Amino acid sequence: MLKEKARIAVLVSGGGTNLQAILDAQQSGVIHSGEVVLVISNNKDAYALTRAAKAGIKGLYISKKELKSQAAFEAAVVNAMEEYEIDLIVLAGFMSILSEGFTSKYPKRIINVHPALIPSFCGKGYYGLKVHEAALEKGVKVTGATVHFVNEIPDGGEIIAQKAVEVMDGDTPEVLQRRVMEQAEWIILPQSVEKVSAELGVRSQE
């Protein structure tokens, strides 16, 4: 019997451009083994929640600040995963580190996109524009993006895909950030979502 598509939850904190790339890839058929059924944001004003609503996808706001602890926050996220029968969790600009207690529940079922070529400019403290600021400060000529599985070490899980992007003279962190998104993140994240979704389907049938 054929398994239905992998059910995907996307965790976001901001504008949701990577979420949009995933939704666009579903529309175009790049992603056909999985389907986004839930978007969770830890920021109630995240435009990503608007994107989810426009696409007819359930959006949830779960706040660590309001729940008073990381444990309570993660418990609420786990409850949502169970309620929506989630197979794959995608971190797409999610500005919160998840504990080992959470990540160990979902081995090889959480993926993240990082805006650099791991092992460069990654780990604790490297997120958002800080990554691109560090790359420019170092003077690298090539940067890029990495999609990897998530484990208890920030940016430490097995690499799924990487794509290089050229650094240009005169780049600002903002300009470089945009180029990395357009030329790497928005390409390899949807491809990786499809790859892992397809593998989850295979695993569930074994």
With beta carbons less than 8 A apart as the criterion, state whether 95 and 131 touch: no
Q: Please give the pLDDT value at position 96.
A: 85
Q: Please give the pLDDT value at position 16.
A: 94
CA–CA dist 136, 153 (Å, integer): 25
CATH tag, 6-205:
3.40.50.170
32, 114, 132, 148: the active-site residue: 114
With beta carbons less than 8 A apart as the criterion, state whether 185 and 161 touch: no
- 6-83-56-30 Cα dihedral, nearest 10 degrees: -10
Q: What is the average pLDDT across 188-203?
A: 91
Stated pTM of the model: 0.94
Q: Above 90 in pLDDT, residue 17?
A: yes
Mean of the per-residue pLDDT values for the chain?
94
Residue-range domain boundaries for the chain: 6-205
Q: Above 50 in pLDDT, residue 1?
A: no
Strands 6-12 and 159-166 turn out to be: unpaired
Q: What is the average pLDDT across 161-181?
A: 97
Which residues touch 196 (CB under 8 Å, ≥6 apart)?
6, 34, 88, 108, 109, 111, 160
Indicate if 132 belongs to the active site.
no
C-alpha dist (Å) from residue 26 to 110, 121, 193: 19, 30, 10
Q: Please give the pLDDT value at position 205.
A: 58
Q: Please give the pLDDT value at position 204.
A: 59
With beta carbons less than 8 A apart as the criterion, state whether 63 and 42 touch: yes
Q: Above 80 in pLDDT, residue 2?
A: no
Q: Please give the pLDDT value at position 97.
A: 85
Q: Please give the pLDDT value at position 4.
A: 81
For the segment 88-142, what is each residue's pLDDT rounded down to a tens digit?
A: 999 998 988 899 999 999 999 999 999 999 999 999 889 889 999 999 999 999 9
